[in-house]
Structure 1
């Protein structure tokens, strides 16, 4: 990374009127951050590098993949390890967005969050979406950014139970993935991508998924897609093409083939039959 892309000083942390901001900061080798105290919650994701997060007189080591929580009103600064300048995403979130849960702030423990490859990857994806929304702007940016930020907070507040062993951690991550698949099946791309998302090998992910879900990954994704398509065809006025793409199918021929294998007829014929019986 060139010196023009790095910063020697911490970037300003200011909230817009809608109460969410995200920063991308790539530290120079001689980066220095003065002590700060703010009236909003801060979540830092470490992309690379290493160092210490100082919270008042307490220092907490960080490395790539770590999530750091800085509660509102806490004196804080980052100090990189010499020779390992950090790159970070910083989410700033107004406390008013947490008012719907009176216990949220007290449950967001200050410091480094328990390490999890899956949590880190999911957090990074949300922060990237936040950066995109912030850069794009527009009338929909505020509500979209608030939703993404609260989604990240919800991820932190709903950890999987762990016993500390790699086997238990892997199984917990797959169990969470299976639980969330009902609302995210349309985002699924390939088996390899799903395994990589959880930091598992294809073989290990396949084994754990079958044990937790009772079916293969592909069968689970296809079943949910056809179930949702069936509901949309019966309850909405969406075109066949729109239904196919909303359910995650990238081409109509695959959608027609999968739908017919389940219902014995094409989507349009199924829709006509359903509406004719009402």
Structure 2
């Protein structure tokens, strides 16, 4: 099951607490990246065929391809704090920060044990992100993003040393290709864009760059183009009094029905309702 993630803030980061069921529910996957901190209780965390015991202070790393689900112990239900964020944030900031999330499932341990040096480094940043998003003090968006970058920087330094030279070369190569494609799209999303033409411009095959982009960001090319267009439309709807139809076409949509459908799929409400809400999602 693939979940659609809607973000509660102008920045694509969520923080929420969750108590898993005491029975094993169906696993899910989502395009966002995720870090879970077990706050209290016990249980298990499943990633495909892998199973990890969960205890207070443990952290779990989730990429955008791996099917996963947590389960609570019946006699001591676990409670988690999850940080959920869009990989495009890191792609735009520093692409190498995506390397720890570019793992292939069978060769990766998702579990960071409580009390380990890495857990001690990451936990304060996880808590800081959650606090900033909850309190919403002046400057909270940049503070939350800064904390996320710090967290992912520590992850990068840790996992970079565990990779073989071949693994590192492959992952860095894929991230660079994805970043090159994203940079082109970010300049041209308001125009008709074609993956084949952009791949030719980069000197890459369509299949190679498409696969690298999906592995790195969790997005298919068309999904990423739609995401950028919707983000631009949100800014225009909240910050201008332009007609909705003008915004749709200026942001690259070829028809109004497509704009309304894609916008609602991504934001959870119509463009008009979003404008009336003052740019706040529910």
TM-score norm. by structure 1 comes to: 0.46
Higher relative contact order (CA 8 A, sep 6+): 2
Bigger radius of gyration: 1
TM-score norm. by structure 2 comes to: 0.46
